[in-house]
Amino acid sequence: MAAPANSTTFSGDVWAELRLADGRDVPHIRSLIHQMAEFELLTDLFATTEELLTSTLFPSPARPPFTSFTALILDLSPSPLVPDSSSTIASRRLDLSASPLADPEAAAFASPRGGGRVTAGFVICFPNYSTFLSKPGLYVEDIFVRAPWRRRGLGRMMLSAVAGRAAELGMGRVEWCVLDWNKNAIDFYEGMGADVLPQWRICRLTGAALDKYKGNQEEAADGKAAE
């Protein structure tokens, strides 16, 4: 099958790097989140802006990675990459000799790091805490790979890197959510050794349901003062 018009074809050796994101990656992060919302059929919940991503993910002064909201970017390069000890989390080589890959969005997702790199995915995670273990953990809010780059072992590389970092930091567990209809993802996670816990449900306050609680602390304080 011919590659789509205006696509970039990757063949032979390609190098993957999972690295810490910075402010330059914000436009791609927003676009990737939107693609994820489309895949999950949840675009009605999408309200992300570049301004909010910048202020929440990349505050000044910067916080150490994995101690607060941490964004990781997956870049692919047609040329060998030299790992950067300050930003590289994981890297690997892909052999596409037998199955060249056409990426119709390569130009739109050109990495801000240059060198012919393209951005293919992202992870966002942050610390949580287990009272049962009395240990911190990592919660993976999002893990996503663009469609052309799926089924190449990259999702495994990304999740393995996050789990490895959590283990190195002495954390008790890594957790995330999966949609109940996404059998491919469930099978993938179980194949990596994760327990999928059907007895738990997500509870969420957001939007108007959350806003109605504004001022409750002041009302409680006023009530105590009147006693």
Within 10 Å of residue 78's Cβ, how many Cβ atoms? 16
- Spot the catalytic one: 129, 139, 189, 213: 189
Helix (H) or strand (E) holding 214: none
Q: Is 189 a catalytic residue?
A: yes
Distance in angstroms (rounded) separating the CA atoms of residues 12 and 211: 53
- Cα(79)–Cα(41) distance, rounded to whole angstroms? 35
Pairing of strands 118-130, 88-95: unpaired
Both structure tokens of 44: 């009605």
Residues with catalytic function: 189
